[in-house]
Amino acid sequence: MLDLSPIKKIWKEIPRYRIYSFLLFLVFAVWGLQRAMHRHWVCDDAFITYRYSLNLQDGLGAVFNEGEKVEGYTNFLWMLLLSIGLNFHLPPERLSQGLGIFSYLGSLLVLYLFSLKNDLSGKYKSVLPFASIALAIQPHAQIYATGGLETSFFGFLLVAGLSIVFHSHHSKHLFWGFLFLGLASLTRPEGFLFYFWASLYALYAKPGKGSPIDQIMKVFFYQLPLFFLVLPYIFWKIDYYGSFTPNTYWAKYGQGIYPRQGLRYIFLYLNSYYVFYIFFFVLLLKYSPDFLLEINNRLATKTREWKRSRQYRKMFQMVVPKKKKWEFHLPRIGFRTTPVLMFTILAIIPSLLYVIYLVMMGGDFMFARLLISFSGVFFLGMEMFLYYRLKEGSRIFFSILLLLSLPLYYNPYEGTKLPIIDGITEESSIYRINEVYRLKQILFPLRESFQNGNVHIAFSGSQAMYAYYMNPPYALEISTGLTDTEIARMGSQSRGRIGHERLIPVDYLYDRGIDILLFDRDLPGQTDYNLLRIKGIPTPFRILKYKKNTMKYLKKNPRLEFVDFEEYLDKYIENMDSYSTTKIKKDFREFNKYYFHLNRDPERKVHFLSIVPDRD
């Protein structure tokens, strides 16, 4: 018979509060995952990354259009993973959702293990794993667990890397922390900020023991991700795209600082989640004037004692001990470095620096997306403050109050006709997953026709799924310029929705060889012959250039409807006698640009030349 006595013994030795803590985590984690899967969706911007992944898998390189090396994405590692998935016939819209869910689960586990680590080390009893529960019940953490973008994945890499660096002292453990932060740097540009900030933190807070050579070797070992991952990626990126700054920066923020819009973006998020205001109120209660006065007195006393110490006299000085070996003594701050302070230095300060950057640059057009990745970091900071700074009664009360405020958040978009406020959109309310798959069924059968016809399209940021599913040889994003360096650097007369303020002149579309315009800003005007309709989609699109060789492939597809311009010309010629010369001249100028300059058709053109000289 199986002897279960060792297991029973271990079970009896486990404190009951740890069992309750784990059960609480388990219940909320399962609930959060269930809600995240129920809310699964794919935003349109994800299809920009999907097309990069598809082209990489097809051997064209990390490009949006063949031969154009433009970095129109900011999630290299995410794009690479999706491209690998395509090699195994995994659709990126499904793979990205699966990776996002697993990343969300990974973040929940890391936050729980962070609390457990503090508990096992005797720092505090983690009866209530605050950070993990908070992330599990935050609605937008659940929403952005999917969405198709790297939001959840980056949040997992960030919180995992920072947690390991914070708790580690051995170089072997620090290596894993910096590996996660290195991967975060390859996932989003702000990852570089956290990597290099954590490197400075480790140099100060994780001093090595032994000779200077031993300390240098320790630093070199845990910085292996820098030398073999981060720096090679930077060098490749500059060599491949010609710049360290992605084109997306110019597309969104190239028109200068926009702090007014940035404040709208931040406060729209803060006003939705009372948890941040409640926590700020708790800070005010804790750090009251009397408390601050006492802290000031303690700091003054500590400073006087520090100035009398040998460490103060030797700070930043090279000293020669009796063994005649040179050593360098790093400076030490003159007050006690508490865990809360050290975590604030490591994780909270760089997070706030990034928030300040967002404010200055105008935030984003997607509600909460660029802030949700940092939820785990902020919730860990709250947890450490609650457990280190508050007594048990206050800790439990404020923990429950903060947690209750998360699911009861204020939805600013409720009751609005369109989920857009000040140019900031709740996109999960627009791109319903059923609608995405419905469009896939409509657009995917058009892929062969658009490829064989060598069709060039122009689309807006809300139509990226058209560019992915139809996969034409050339696609130009014209609302922001994400994939075009010239559009990204075009100015605008007024500021509005971040990254969507440009009006592209129609001549630029002609110069880029665009055949079909999906994004209608009344350029060019609608006529009775230049509309293209796709069955199942109510909005018509505009044909800019009617190329006979191109349109014959589109005409074979029964899902596409448009006017056969050759037949249209024949009818026009039959009725020319009833038209005025002024009308014929005007129409011929349009017909020239639309058809005659692109196709050899002297039989039809001669009817116009008899009335309108060719120079007209």
Instruction: State the pLDDT confidence band at 318, using cuts at 50, 70 and 90.
Output: very low
Q: How far apart are CA 222 and CA 207, in angstroms?
A: 12
At residue 312, the pLDDT reads: 47
Q: How far apart are CA 207 and CA 257, in angstroms?
A: 39
Is residue 147 predicted with pLDDT exceeding 50? yes
Residue type, 531: L
In sequence order, the β-bridge partners of residue 534 are: 560
Q: How far apart are CA 130 and CA 398, in angstroms?
A: 11
Query: Residues 585-614: pLDDT tens digits?
Result: 999 999 999 999 999 999 999 988 877 765
* Closest among 370, 76, 353 to 229, alpha carbons compared: 76
400-436 per-residue burial string, b: 16 or more CB within 10 A, e: under 16: eebbebbeebeebbeeeeebbebbbbbbbbebeeeeb
At residue 396, the pLDDT reads: 86
Residue type, 347: A
Instruction: State the pLDDT confidence band at 134, using cuts at 50, 70 and 90.
Output: very high
Mean pLDDT for 226-237 is 97
User: 396: burial class by Cβ within 10 Å (0-12, 13-18, 19+)?
Assistant: middle
CB neighbours of 251 closer than 8 A, spacing ≥ 6? 72, 480, 481, 482, 487, 488, 499
At residue 493, the pLDDT reads: 63
Q: Cβ(556)–Cβ(450) under 8 Å? A: no
CB neighbours of 452 closer than 8 A, spacing ≥ 6? 553
Handedness of CA 296, 297, 299, 303 (dihedral sign): positive
* Cβ neighbours around 438 below 10 Å, total: 13
> How, if at all, do strands 474-477 and 456-459 pair?
parallel
Indicate the pTM of the whole model: 0.89
**What secondary structure letter does DSSP report for 65?**
B
Lowest mean pLDDT among 104-108, 153-157, 159-163, 328-332: 328-332
Mean pLDDT for 190-202 is 97
Instruction: State the pLDDT confidence band at 577, using cuts at 50, 70 and 90.
Output: confident
133-149 per-residue burial string, b: 16 or more CB within 10 A, e: under 16: bbbbbbbbbbbbbbbbb
In sequence order, the β-bridge partners of residue 560 are: 534
Instruction: State the pLDDT confidence band at 435, using cuts at 50, 70 and 90.
Output: very high
Is residue 3 predicted with pLDDT exceeding 70? no
At residue 297, the pLDDT reads: 64
Query: Residues 334-354: pLDDT tens digits?
Result: 445 688 999 999 999 999 999
Instruction: State the pLDDT confidence band at 545, using cuts at 50, 70 and 90.
Output: very high
Instruction: State the pLDDT confidence band at 320, using cuts at 50, 70 and 90.
Output: very low
Mean pLDDT for 526-542 is 92
**What secondary structure letter does DSSP report for 432?**
-
Mean pLDDT of the chain: 87
Find the helix or strand (DSSP H, E) in which 556 lies. none
Instruction: State the pLDDT confidence band at 399, using cuts at 50, 70 and 90.
Output: very high
CB neighbours of 247 closer than 8 A, spacing ≥ 6? 70, 71, 72, 241, 481, 482, 483, 484, 485, 488
DSSP-based three-state secondary structure for 318: strand
Query: Residues 20-32: pLDDT tens digits?
Result: 889 999 999 999 9
Query: Residues 468-521: pLDDT tens digits?
Result: 999 999 999 998 889 999 988 887 667 777 776 777 888 899 999 999 999 766
Query: Residues 41-63: pLDDT tens digits?
Result: 999 999 999 999 999 999 999 99
Q: How far apart are CA 505 and CA 527, in angstroms?
A: 19
At residue 319, the pLDDT reads: 39
Cα→Cα distances 573→170, 596, 597, 611, Å? 85, 14, 18, 12
In the 3-class helix/strand/coil scheme, how is 369-416 assigned residue by residue?
HHHHCCHHHHHHHHHHHHHHHCCHHHHHHHHHHHHHHCCCCCCCCCCC
Instruction: State the pLDDT confidence band at 169, using cuts at 50, 70 and 90.
Output: confident
Residue type, 450: F
Q: Cβ(189)–Cβ(234) under 8 Å? A: no
> What is the percent of the chain with per-residue pLDDT over 70, rounded to a whole number?
86
At residue 294, the pLDDT reads: 60
Query: Residues 455-473: pLDDT tens digits?
Result: 999 998 789 999 999 999 9
Mean pLDDT for 429-434 is 91
Tokens for 141, please give them: 């953490």
φ, ψ of residue 456 to 5 degrees: the values are: -105, 125
**Look-up of token digits 């899902």:** 559
- CA angle (458, 462, 466) in 5-degree steps: 55
> What is the percent of the chain with per-residue pLDDT over 90, rounded to a whole number?
66
Report which of residues 19 and 381 the model is more confident about. Answer: 381
DSSP-based three-state secondary structure for 126: coil
In sequence order, the β-bridge partners of residue 122 are: none
Q: How far apart are CA 63 and CA 53, in angstroms?
A: 8
In sequence order, the β-bridge partners of residue 459 are: 477
Cα→Cα distances 408→139, 144, 273, 275, 411, Å? 9, 18, 8, 10, 9
Is residue 11 predicted with pLDDT exceeding 60? no
Is residue 321 predicted with pLDDT exceeding 50? no
Is residue 288 predicted with pLDDT exceeding 90? no
Residue type, 552: K
Is residue 295 predicted with pLDDT exceeding 60? no
Find the helix or strand (DSSP H, E) in which 555 lies. helix 548-555
CB neighbours of 525 closer than 8 A, spacing ≥ 6? none
Query: Residues 62-89: pLDDT tens digits?
Result: 999 999 999 999 999 999 999 999 999 9
Is residue 317 predicted with pLDDT exceeding 50? no
Q: How far apart are CA 370 and CA 155, in angstroms?
A: 10
